[in-house]
Amino acid sequence: MNRSFLKIITIAAISIILFSCGETKKVAPNPAGMPVPVNVYEAHAGKAVYFEKFPGTVTALMQVDIHPVVEGYVTGIYFKEGDHVTKGQKLYSIDDSKYQASYNSAQVNVKVAASNMEQAKKDADRYIYLNEHDAVAKQILDHAMTTLQNAKDQLTAAKQDLAKTQTDLGYATIKAPFDGTIGISQVKVGNTVSVGQTVLNTISSDNPMAVDFVVNEKQIPRFLKLKQNPPADADSVFTLLLPDNTLYPGVGQISFIDRGVNPLTGTITVRLVFQNTSSLLRAGMSSIVRVRNSDTAAQMLVPSKAIVEQMGEYFMYVAKDTVIEAAEGAGKNKDTQPQGASLRALQRKVTLGQTIADQVIVLSGISEGDKVIVDGVQKLHSGSLIVMPH
């Protein structure tokens, strides 16, 4: 019984050893693996022109809701919705019959008051003359002067009432307060409107137009500098992408930077102003503000396809001669390398900056002149043998 048990254990142990040896042999890497064909790009520093992008909203510099100042029903609408209107242009008319009647009555009252004052002045002048010759009682003169003053006051009040009725009559015709674009009318002919309640329409200025966008509070010094000391080519610093992703033909200038930072988001609003002669910009339109970089220092640019991302970190491979590899990794046997292999790939951790088209700015990790591998990076690891086409 013991012999059989020992025999089983021995056979099992031998099987495990043979299985393990077979697996190790199967996955053992080939130390002299075939070189990976790659293409390289020689890193160099140069001027990098790029644009930072910020979501923006087109805003009218002036926008008001048009309210009636007098009550009545609408008797006329004198514009086409969505049209450009000019300051002083007639927009609406409200029934003015009662305001016209009040104005006419006020005109009559002014005439009556003026006539009464003229008569009171003649009487006062006569009593003044008689008083100078001691031909009238002092009391009568005083009464005449009081009557004259009352007549003057009544004329003043009548003129003020005339001005008020004239104003009310004028308010029955509603005019554009400034040049701009008129919206959709909220009333139709025949609708009754009330003071302080009815909104007739909205008008907004349309040239120039503003574009508001927010930036991080850390960028305040940069935008203050752009506002206070614009660069010589400031006419190309601020550009705009329209909702269809086309470039707006005009350029912007900083109008103002908001008074304070939003404490919840740590951002501040910047306003640009664009000329809008073509009427492409409309209030409320979404857009993308492009701010050209102001850093004139040379930047290291390499193709974006050379980047390898691993666990949120970024790497590149650079090609190095095998002579350098032997010095760095003593003990490697060059005799085992395949015929023609002369380079190895070394992995470098890099810090990236702005992406510009199909290139990316490398802030650190490589040096000018490094031969960055741009094709075949998926098959590489640090130390891989590589070969480049002649």
In this prediction, residue 299 carries a pLDDT of 79
What H or E segment, with its residue span, contains residue 296?
A: none
Which token pair is 55? Answer: 């979501």
Q: Which amino acid is at 49?
A: V
CB 233 within 8 A of CB 49: no
The pLDDT of residue 83 is 92
Asked if 254 and 270 count as a contact pair (C-beta separation under 8 A), the reply is yes
CATH 3.40.50.2300 for the 102-164 domain, yes or no:
no
- Taken in order 165, 166, 170, 171, the sign of the CA dihedral is negative
Domain with CATH 2.40.420.20 in the chain: 36-49+298-387
The architecture that CATH gives domain 51-95+172-292 is Beta Barrel (2.40)
Reported as half-sphere exposure (CB side, CA atoms, 13 A), residue 317 has a value of 27
Residues 70, 68: Cα–Cα separation, whole Å: 6
- Are the C-beta atoms of 81 and 184 separated by less than 8 Å? yes
Q: What is the pLDDT of residue 296?
A: 63
Q: For CATH 1.10.287.470, list the domain ranges present in the chain.
A: 102-164
Q: What is the secondary structure of 206-240 as a DSSP string? A: -SSEEEEEEEEGGGHHHHHHHHHS--TTGGGTEEE
- For the chain, 390 residues long, give each residue's pLDDT as a single digit of tens: 455 555 555 555 555 544 444 443 333 333 446 888 888 888 888 777 778 899 999 999 999 999 999 999 999 999 999 999 999 999 999 999 999 999 999 999 999 999 999 999 998 999 888 888 888 888 888 898 999 999 999 999 999 999 999 999 999 999 999 999 999 999 999 999 999 889 999 999 999 999 999 999 999 998 998 888 877 665 678 999 999 999 999 899 999 999 999 999 999 999 999 999 988 999 999 999 999 876 667 778 888 888 888 888 899 999 888 644 444 444 444 444 444 446 888 899 999 887 777 888 888 888 888 888 888 888 888 888 888 776
Q: Which string of DSSP letters, residue by residue, matches 123-192?
A: HHHHHHHHHHTT-S-HHHHHHHHHHHHHHHHHHHHHHHHHHHHHHHHHHTEEE-SSSEEE---S--TT-E
Residue 170 tokens read as 């004028």
Q: Residue 202 CA to chain centroid, in angstroms?
A: 23
Where does CATH 2.40.30.170 sit in the chain?
Answer: 51-95+172-292
- How far apart CA 76 and CA 69 sit, in angstroms, is 16
Return d(Cα 318, Cα 343) in angstroms, integer.
10
Residue 380's Cβ-side half-sphere holds a number of Cα atoms within 13 Å equal to 30
User: Who contacts 63 (Cβ-Cβ below 8 Å, separation ≥6)?
Assistant: 180, 202, 203, 204, 205, 283
Tell the residue number behind the tokens 């206070």, with chain if given.
228
Maximal C-alpha separation, the chain: 168
Q: Give the three-state DSSP class for 25.
A: helix
Separation of alpha carbons 178 and 85, rounded Å:
8
Q: What is the CATH number of domain 36-49+298-387?
A: 2.40.420.20
> Which pair of tokens denotes residue 259?
């008074």
The pLDDT score that the predictor gives to residue 374 is 87
